[in-house]
Amino acid sequence: MLLDVTGGQSTPIPLGEHSSPVTSYAISPDSARLAAGCQDGTIWLWDLNVGAAEQRPDPRRVPSSSCAAAPDGSWLATTDDNWQQGRIAIWDVTTGQQSRVCGAGAGRYDSCVAAPDGTWLATARSDAVLIWEVATGRLRHHIECPVRPGHVLISAATNYVIDLTVAPDGTWLAAACEDGTVRLLDLATGQTRDILDHPAITGRMLSCVVAPDASWLAYSGLDATVIHDLPSGTNRKIDSSSRLLDVSPDGSLLASEQGFDIRVWAAATGETVHVLGGHTHFVKTCRWSPDGTRLASAGDHTVRIWATATGGIETTVRLYADPNDSRNPMDCSWLSNGRTLAVTSKQGLHLFDLTNTPSDLIDPVPHRVDRSPASLVDPQQCDETLDAEGPGCSECGGDVARAGTGRPRRYCSRACRQRAYRARTR
């Protein structure tokens, strides 16, 4: 939904009629369109100027796990996480039509990222990184990331390549892997340029991010965070593990998740600048604003906006009217204008205009899609219905049966429980 909070007044403008829970989204560079991928395989394109759906492409109805937009906004790529029927679809944003399909039926795809020039697309699949030409759909490179000898994968339901980040010039990318390594992959040759690891990281790698000037690469595992100087090849260990990493636009600061808190620290020295506390549950994501003056974090039932100069909280956005609602936001992203924040949760997608918002709690009442298709209900009515019937699955929003004690279960299936566990431990 869109929320106009100019002057401190909240006026909800719902982006309704999603056919199932939103699992991924991407925003065009001009902030004019938003694409939302839903669990049933549909992609919705929204005109953000009027809040209306422009197209509703309806491919095979399989879950969309991630999406990436071209830098010029001309195309959109989506992936799905079906192990048998996975594929990458490329959509023409102007017409809303699917222009081509890559890698159909070849397994699950994750971590979809677009090239800085928009000519190719990188996806992670099992123990490989695949580079696709957008214009033709041809596979340019299949770069193997073999498991380190002696390493045993945690689960067959988890991709070995966990995270991808692309160099600013688009000549190489880094892949964070489950065996505790980060592989630097040359995109001209398809060869592995280097393999990075550190004795302080004994478990799997969780995330990696490259500096805006490509002078260093930060990677993090369960045990520590390491700054790798790319020109010299030297490493500097930071005594901190993190599930997430994000770098400020000028490359001077890093933000990392530390349980219920966010730690902001200097990339050059590793010294802590701020510890941002206030979330009542694990932080799911943290994202810098385009100008670097604010940081958005999402974790419990709120999204919090922090002033990076002082470490103080500017605004707290509550996604649902009930402060005890357990349906957590999963991810957030700033639009390029620096004042609009997009937030995704299992029940929908929310856009917040943070211009001139007061420094207190915003209580929007965002509409969400009810369990019946294309049905919009007031969230307060939703809460009453859920209280009566038991909450939906915490992972997919679907119906769940009550346990023998009469209490509602949290997940509808073993697969949803495993996905939730992986999300918490990534």
- Is the pLDDT score of 67 beyond 80? no
Q: Both 287 and 411 in a single domain?
A: no
Q: Both 32 and 148 in a single domain?
A: yes
Give the model confidence (pLDDT) of 313-330 as tens digits: 888 877 665 555 555 666
Q: What pLDDT shows up at residue 163?
A: 83
What is the mean predicted confidence (pLDDT) over 95-99? 66
Q: Both 271 and 407 in a single domain?
A: no
119: number of Cβ within 10 Å: 14
CATH number at residue 168: 2.130.10.10
Three-state DSSP class for 6?
helix
User: Residue 405 in contact with residue 383, Cβ under 8 Å?
Assistant: no
Q: What share of the chain is helix, strand, coil (3-state, %, to 5)?
A: 5, 40, 50
Q: What pLDDT shows up at residue 359?
A: 38
- Is the pLDDT score of 205 beyond 70? yes
297 or 33, greater pLDDT: 297
**Percentage of residues of the chain with pLDDT beyond 90:** 14
In a domain, 385, yes or no: no
Q: Both 76 and 219 in a single domain?
A: yes
In a domain, 7, yes or no: no
Q: Both 92 and 168 in a single domain?
A: yes
In a domain, 330, yes or no: no
Domain stop point among 345, 362, 379: 362
What is the mean predicted confidence (pLDDT) over 342-348? 59
Q: Both 396 and 295 in a single domain?
A: no
- Is the pLDDT score of 131 beyond 80? yes
Q: Using a CB cutoff of 8 Å and minimum separation of 24, what contacts does 197-203 make?
A: 198/224, 198/226, 198/235, 198/237, 200/224, 200/226, 200/237, 201/226
Task: Identify the H or E element spanning 378.
Answer: none
Alpha-carbon distance 14 to 409, whole Å? Answer: 29
Domain count, the chain: 2
Give the model confidence (pLDDT) of 227-274 as tens digits: 999 999 999 888 777 776 789 999 999 998 888 899 999 998 888 999
Structure tokens at 336: 């390029």
Alpha-carbon distance 223 to 158, whole Å? Answer: 20
What does 280-295 look like in DSSP terms, one character per residue? SS---EEEE-TTSSEE
Q: Both 277 and 394 in a single domain?
A: no
172 or 24, greater pLDDT: 172
65, 215, 372 from 166: Cα distances, Å: 19, 13, 40
Give the model confidence (pLDDT) of 395-426 as tens digits: 555 555 543 334 345 566 656 665 655 554 44
Q: What pLDDT shows up at residue 196?
A: 92
DSSP state of 373: T
Q: Both 106 and 228 in a single domain?
A: yes
Structural domain including 145 reads: 26-322+357-362
Q: Both 136 and 260 in a single domain?
A: yes
Q: What pLDDT shows up at residue 148?
A: 67
- Is the pLDDT score of 60 beyond 50? no
For the ranges 162-171, 210-219, 345-354, the maximum mean pLDDT occurs at 210-219
Whole-prediction pTM:
0.61
Q: What pLDDT shows up at residue 286?
A: 84
User: Residue 241 in contact with residue 221, Cβ under 8 Å?
Assistant: yes
User: Residue 290 in contact with residue 334, Cβ under 8 Å?
Assistant: yes
What does 61-118 look like in DSSP terms, one character per residue? S----EEEE-TTSSEEEEE---TTT--EEEEETTT--EEEEESTTS---EEEEE-TTS
In a domain, 37, yes or no: yes
Alpha-carbon distance 4 to 12, whole Å? Answer: 7
Q: In degrees rounded to 5, what are phi and psi of residue 387? A: -60, -35
DSSP state of 347: T
**Which segment of 106-115, 203-212, 406-415 scores lowest on mean pLDDT?**
406-415
In a domain, 21, yes or no: no
Closest CA relative to residue 38, chosen from 57, 56, 18: 18
Q: Both 64 and 175 in a single domain?
A: yes
405 or 183, greater pLDDT: 183
What is the sign of the dihedral through the CA atoms of 90, 112, 299 and 263?
negative
In a domain, 81, yes or no: yes
Q: Is 211 left (phi over 0), alpha (psi -120 to 50) or beta?
A: beta
In a domain, 116, yes or no: yes
In a domain, 128, yes or no: yes
Compute, in degrees rounded to 10, the torsion defined by CA atoms 330, 210, 224, 394: 10
Give the model confidence (pLDDT) of 346-398 as tens digits: 554 466 777 754 433 443 333 332 222 222 222 233 222 223 333 456 555 55
Q: What pLDDT shows up at residue 417?
A: 61
Residue 288 — very low, low, confident or very high, per pLDDT cuts 50/70/90? confident
182 or 424, greater pLDDT: 182
Q: Both 49 and 193 in a single domain?
A: yes
**Percentage of residues of the chain with pLDDT beyond 70:** 54
Beta pairing, strands 11-13 & 22-27: unpaired
359: number of Cβ within 10 Å: 11
Q: What pLDDT shows up at residue 230?
A: 93
User: Residue 313 in contact with residue 306, Cβ under 8 Å?
Assistant: yes
Q: Both 89 and 218 in a single domain?
A: yes
Q: In degrees rounded to 5, what are phi and psi of residue 236? A: -130, 120
